[in-house]
Each structure stands twice: as structure tokens, then as C-alpha cells.
Amino acid sequence: MNLAIIYNNVRFKNPLVLASGILGVTGNSLKHVVENGAGGVTIKSIWLKEHIGHPNPTMIGNEHFFLNAVGLPDAGIEKAKEEIATYLKWAIQEDGSVKAPLIASVVAGKVDDFGETAEQVAELKPHLIEVNISCPNVEDELGKPFACDFNQAARVTREVKKRVSKIPIIIKLSPNVSNIVEIAKSIEDAGADGLTCFNTFGPGMCIDIETAQPILANRVGGLSGPGLKPLVVKMIFDLYKAVKIPIIGTGGVLTGRDVIELMMSGATLVGMGTAVYYRGVEVFGKVAEEIRQWCEKNGVEDISEVVGRAHQ
């Protein structure tokens, strides 16, 4: 059976993508994730200049949920150039085929800076660019995420599309809005080539009751983990009906069955991040095998057949 997926004319050997913010600090780390079975990888969000992020604790969780406020630490564009080059040198083979495509996530505090960062990152020739306008744990610094306002989301999309013409632009949405369809449509109208659905939920907070202190140093952080999957499935279901651009679904996915479910709701690719906490970096290979087994048992010869099946 065929697990390969074509997304915006880029071929993925399977629909599993490392979500941004998990493990992707170095080119070799991305390589390691691919060696563990990922079909594609997203590098940790790139800033133009160094961005320190939050002190620890930055990541906490248990069997029910995961909460993080790492705060997008990054050394800036120069380091990104080196790490992307390291990855692409390994990933692009002599015959020009690609072991696993690279999605470069970019982040900025201002609309213009999104354009500038994306333009500089585009020179490094990643296969896709994901624009992170939805991080919920840098609000103190940057204000409400652009993804929470359809005008702002469209402005960023137009700015990036104006400055990057040769690489597909994916916009990463926030689930923390009441009008997700309206926002997605405005982003599609502004020229985006795809959507990543979604960034983390909330923000949420955990309080240590012995000290009455919020545990995360940033006090609040983005929520992820298995309990969120029904919310993600429903919103992707709604978006699949409303927009034509393809969706990378992410949120609460731990198993092959979860991946199939998100794809049936309308996702073409499926991102996993928190799953690495629950099942280790080997999760990608394990989930790919679970998908294969399910497809074989259920007569699915090509994984792309299941995309949007819940709408039939």
C-alpha cells in the first residue's frame, strides 16, 4: 500500500510531520527525527535576530495533558542558515530526491518582519515555509497573536506572499478563536498555499498548590495532548468544507488511528509534537506502521483515499 502524500507539489513518504517547536533546534536533530520515521520535519520557529525565550519550567505534563511556554528561543537567521544547510545536505540525495521535506517555521513580532524573515529563509530553499502567527505564550511580549484577528492574519499572509514567490506558504492557525472559518478564508483569500491546524490551545495554567505558584515561569502556556483531539477534528472538519487549500492537521495525535481520524476530517498531512513526550521519538515509525496495518486491514491502497472521507 502507498503511504506517500503530495502536499503543495511536495512529496512526503508518509503523512507524518514533526510539528514545530519539538526537537527541531538543529539540522541533525531533524535528521534524527526522519531516521525515526517522520515523513517531513518542521524546524523550530526562526526569528531574524536572537530571541531568548522563557526561563524554566517551560514544559510540564502528565498522562492527560501537556502545557508549554518555551517562548520561542532561537539564535536568529545566521544559525538557521547553518542548521537548514546541514539538514538539506543530508536529506537531498544524489538523484535529487528528498528523504523528507523540510518545513521552515518563521516567527516575528511585526508584519514587516514576517516578510523579511520569510524572504531570508526562502533563500535557504526549504520545501515549504510555515508562518507561525499563533504562538499563545509570547502574548506579554508581542500582544494577541495575529492568528486571532482575520485582518491581521491576512496582512501577514499578503506580506509574506509578496516577498516569497517560489516556495509554498503555510499559515499556522490558532484554535483559540470563535471564528476559525472566517480567519481561514481571509488567509486563503490573501494567497496562502496551505494551513497548519493548529497551534496549542489556551493558554492554560497549572498552579502548584503547595506554594500557590503557577508552575510555568511564564505563568501560562499552550495546551496540547490527547484530550484535545476531538476539538481539532471538529475544526478541521469545518475548515475542509470552507477552504480549498490543503491542511496540515495537528493536535492530540498519538496513534495511527488518530492520524486516520484527522485525515478523514480533512487533513492532508498530520503533525505530531506532544506525541514524542508520550511515546518517544520512535513514535513516527510506530505510527507509520500503525497506519499501514490499519489501511491493509481496511482495504485502503493509497493513504490519500482517506483524506476528507468523513465528508462523503
Partner 1 sequence: MSCSKGHHCCQNLKPKNAMPEMVSIVDIKNENPFVKTFTLDCSVDGQPGQFVMLWLPRVDEKPFSIAYDDGQNLELSIANVGTFTEQLFTKKPGDKVGIRGSYGKTFQYEDGEHLVVLGGGYGAAPLYFLAVEAVVRGCTVEFIIGARSAEYLMFEEKAMQLKAVKVHVATNDGSRGFTGTSVDLLNHLLNEGMKVDRIMTVGPEMMMKAVSDVALVRDIACQVSLERYMKCGFGICGQCVVDESGMAVCMNGPVMDHKLARAQAEFGKYHRDKVGRKKEW
Under the rule (CB under 8 A), what is the footprint of partner 1? 22-33, 35, 44, 50-53, 55-64, 66, 70, 73-76, 79, 83, 206, 208, 210-211, 213, 215, 217, 226, 254-257, 273-274, 276-281, 290, 293-294
User: What's the CA gap between 75 and 48, in Å, rounded?
Assistant: 9
Neighbours of 243 (CB within 10 A): 19
Minimum distance from residue 253 beta carbon to partner 1 (Å)? 10
> Quick check: helix, strand or coil at residue 249?
strand
The smaller minimum CB distance to partner 1, of residues 67 and 245, is found at: 67
Spell out a b/e string for 260-293, using b for 16 or more CB atoms within 10 Å of the CB, else e: bbbbbbbbbbbbbbbbbbeeebebbebbbebbbe
**What is the separation of C-alpha 100 from the centre of its chain, rounded to a whole number of angstroms?**
15
Nearest in space to 268 (alpha carbons), one of 239, 290, 298: 239
Please give the single-letter amino acid code of residue 119. Answer: E
H/E element, 6: strand 5-7
Minimum distance from residue 53 beta carbon to partner 1 (Å)? 7
3-state helix, strand, coil in the chain (%, to 5): 40, 20, 40
221-224 and 201-204 strand pairing: antiparallel
The smaller minimum CB distance to partner 1, of residues 38 and 160, is found at: 38
Residue 206 falls in the annotated catalytic set: no
> Quick check: helix, strand or coil at residue 263?
helix
The smaller minimum CB distance to partner 1, of residues 58 and 157, is found at: 58
Minimum distance from residue 118 beta carbon to partner 1 (Å)? 20
Minimum distance from residue 30 beta carbon to partner 1 (Å)? 7
Minimum distance from residue 70 beta carbon to partner 1 (Å)? 6
Residue with C-alpha cell 519550567?
57
Q: Considering 135, 148, 206, 295, which one is annotated as catalytic?
A: 135
Neighbours of 204 (CB within 10 A): 16
The smaller minimum CB distance to partner 1, of residues 83 and 159, is found at: 83
Helix axes 111-122, 77-91, angle to 10 degrees: 40
The smaller minimum CB distance to partner 1, of residues 157 and 218, is found at: 218
Catalytic residues: 135
